[in-house]
Amino acid sequence: MDFEIPAAQQERCARIYEETHALWGERRAVPGAEEVREDFRAAGKAGLTGLCLPAEAGGSGLGALETAQCLEAFGRGSADTGLAFAVAAHLLACAVPVRDFASEESRAALLPALASGEMIAANAMTEDEAGSDISALSVTARPVDGGYVLNGSKSWASNGPVADLVVTYAITDAKAGFLGVSAFAVPADTPGLIREPALAKTGLEGCHAGRIRFEECAVPASCLLGEEGQGAAVFQHSMAWERAALFGIYLGLMRRQLDQIVQHASRRRQFGRRIGEFQGVSHRIAAMRQRLESARLLLYRACWLLDAGQDHTAAVALSKIAVSEAAVANSLDAVHLSGAVGYLRGGAEEQLRDALPSTLFSGTTEIQRELIAKDLGL
């Protein structure tokens, strides 16, 4: 067991932190659609949209662990956690399944643009009555000569309103249950694919998310990811990468938050003393660090198992719970320790709003505990 991060990776993460801090370290306004596109291009130049994509496609060819460490640096450097989430979702929930399941022709056509940030991808899985339960999907893909016709609606697609490519899942055989789901990578300008405006939501405002509808949307067979009926496997594969590596952005948020709180506690004075000298304050900050360090170890282990090709399901679930719950708890502490300032828009309260959805997306905390219980044989 070696906890030392190689020098080259340390340098890469330091560069990412510096670049993202220079670009988005002071951002407060919610970016518009055109600004999001400029942000993705900038993220592409920093190498963030292609971290784990092949070098021949313009990516860095990193594994899950190194990808998570880079996203941690991104989350620490950028005040716009929503943008970091948008980039990570684009990369892990969309580009990864294209990388691993698309045809050779589709990979050649899509991966360079995905890696550079010129093309923005959206993950359209969730429906009004189906989230983690992939067997309950209502969107259908009717086989026709040369392809499929998609019909139905997805309720929550990260990057949906600004997407150029939509990775989605649909029923191709209603009688086959789990094995009747197929995955598709559909160009957003395909007739019959309708992107609805961005949803108003609490937190992660830098990530535009919205409904996507398919109305007799005809797609060629080349849009299929993997084989027909392999959609559940594609989804689980992409979720393993997302649940493991994406949450690096929250490690970065917690590190940035901890730095800010330590600085505040060292500077703010009450009753003639720095507030960090009061045990009630210092112990609370110590607990924030303990949650961060513990969550980081679980996340790194989950990514290491994923890279090693070992059984990672329970480890990823444990990591996802630890990071998301630590992010919420630390953000609540940060609001409290900041006093009235923590209640103002744009500070600790914004970090809390960005942390809250982490217990919901990529499978709720309850779903993760179900996976852990199943691993225990319960």
Q: Indicate which residues carry an active-site annotation.
A: 242
User: CA-CA-CA-CA torsion for 131, 154, 156, 146, nearest 10 degrees?
Assistant: 100
For the chain, state the CA radius of gyration: 21
CA angle 284, 257, 338 (to 5 degrees): 60
Q: Please, what sign has the CA dihedral across residues 36, 327, 334, 23?
A: negative
- Quick one: residue 224, left, alpha or beta (phi over 0 = left, psi -120 to 50 = alpha)? beta
Q: What spatial distance separates the first Cα and last Cα of the chain, rounded to whole Å?
A: 30
Residue located via tokens 């339960």: 133
| Residue from 190, 185, 193, 188 nearest 226 by CA | 185
Gap between the Cα atoms of 353 and 33, Å rounded: 21
